[in-house]
Structure 1
Amino acid sequence: MRFDTRLVHAGHELAEGTGDVVPPLHLASTYAHGVQDPPAYFYARGENPTREALERALAALEDVRFATVFASGQAAGATALATLAGAGRVIVSDDVYGGTYALLTSSRLDVRPVDLADPAAVADAFADPWAAEALVWVETPTNPMLKVADLAEVCRRAHARGCLVLVDNTLAGPALQQPLRWGADVTLCSTTKSVAGHLDVLGGALVHDRADLHDLFTTHRTTTGSVPSPFDSFLVHRGLKTLSLRTARQVETAGKLASALRESPHVAEVRYPGLPGHPGHEVAARQMSGFGSVVAFRYRADVAGLLRRSRYFADAVSLGGVRSLAQCPATTTHRPIPPDVRLRLGITDDLVRLSVGIEDPEDLLEDLLQALSPS
């Protein structure tokens, strides 16, 4: 079964007795054992058929056995830290989502940021005895600077030191990048973003192929109660079915916008892996099937004015949805990061991040060009 067919069919067989062609929505919070032969369901904090259908579908996308879904991407990340960072040490991409930064810095773990898009920095990090058996948390492409890590190389060096590798695949999504194929042990994804795709539900997932990790994740989820509701699981699964169609339009449009931005006199810099001058372009071309729907650029005038003038890019956080969004990461998603760290990473007040939706590309291009002009 090829990828696009899995999007529609994986995780669901026609319902026995009714023939439902979509996974039924099971809302029960508890289950009567007497009608189960053998008993499979006990309490919905632990088991739910709608949630399990989504998990089977997500696992199938990376051609593995297990996925564990959560109430949000943050809940998935918190579970990963609680269960995988046994040595108490974490190597993490230096440019990560602000929520991830907050999650890591609020933990009692020994966290070391590394530019995992820089081969020399990767080599140095894993040459240090400190790195042995650390959890390696890779975000690629990163949010918002769109750095690209070479997953095969990072995984090779990490595994040689006895490290587990988790890849936050939220920005790319499973249609464009499948980290487990490049050696990662766990893929983390905020299913809120491109997987669900309609900006109307929260969710997260850990995808992997190890039964021991599946037991760890599900036990922690049941104990902490970080489960998505049946309805949220239903919405994520419904959105998943159109992932490839949406992603293809978004990637095509993002490339056009990035090229136009590069030619604008109002733009100082454009960051998009699809541009040949991007430092991670060749790696992205090798390990991704498309360059993504997120574009970042530095605006030479007032960012607030740019966001006000746009008709189609809503001034809102999140990414990967059907509607186009624009934001200033320094004042929104990445505010948890101290100003001096943001400045060092290049997350300055003139940086704008676009999440490209599925609107007509020409409408988005015309809107962006008129919004760029401060006069």
Structure 2
Amino acid sequence: MMSMDIFNSKRVLISGGTGFVGSATVRVLAARYPGCAIAVIDKSPPRAEHVLPEKIEYMQVDITSAEEVNKVFGIVKPNIVVHTAGIVPGVADRFGRRLESEVWRTNVEGTRNMLNAAVEHGVESFIYTSSCCVVTDDMSTSYRNIDEGWPASSTSLIYGESKAAAEALVLQANSNELATCALRPSVLCGEGDYQLVPIIHACIEKYETPFIIGDGENLWDVTHVSNIADAHVLAMENLATSRTAAGEAFFIQNNEPITFRDFCLAIWSHFGHTPPFEVRIPEGLAYFAGLVCEMVTWITGGTTTLSRGSVRDACAVRYANGDKARKILGYNARIGMDEAIRLSCEEYAQRIGVRLSARHDR
């Protein structure tokens, strides 16, 4: 940890600060440096599931408006910017292009607005919340123990394309005056998660837990959101002192690859459910079923959770090497995978008003 006196003199602006990653970063930063002035901007007001500490300044700002962004920079006069704001398409839209213009406008043009304002207002450092998807959204490839030398794919899903384009803007903006870096979180879990654990939990009610697509042995990176928040604070500390992270991108994960099936089983177990039997569905057969579902929804105008993309996604191998983040940022996952799953399930159970399995009570 750097000198409290040095960091407590800084003014930090966190975009997307009422969201999942942004609010977690605010909580960690406020706890570690209680004298630091933190301002949060977001299109959405603070929400119950993403708790913010007291005395955090919040301003409603749409980052796609250069005028709004420039105005708030003039008010806050930040030394440090943490840019977590962005659109992550939900499951139904992840594999299509329906939200392409909205995702691009927010994730790329919004980032451009933030960078332009940072340069104009003399910001010292800029940390961007990128994503592992800058590489791994090309689902035609397996990603085993990849490092930051892997190039962004030329063919990808819209989310990965938008994050790769925004990340490039951030890293190209690195200079002696403005130090920049990008963090690439893996799939996230934790308190306030609205995509991963809720979707896996919903499989219980839909009687989908027995079905295994592919061999079920594909390893994924999953990360607790507090670990990602830690990485953001470490990046802020680095860029405020040694700047060895300047101009660099870092994969951030728990560094405990887990099979997607085992991750699902652990979540279901916390909710007292064990699949009564198992049925293995070959990937090719599931891919064909996904195509049929896509054709039906195209005709009916509905939505589907099963598609060719979701089948490839479920069978993908995606885990990264954490050496670079460990060596340069000093990052190590504070919350291990077992605890990450427990905390995620406990918070989600409380949110939906159910009691967890007695065998998992502490």
State the TM-score, normalizing by the size of structure 1. 0.33
Query: Which structure features the higher share of helix residues?
Result: 2
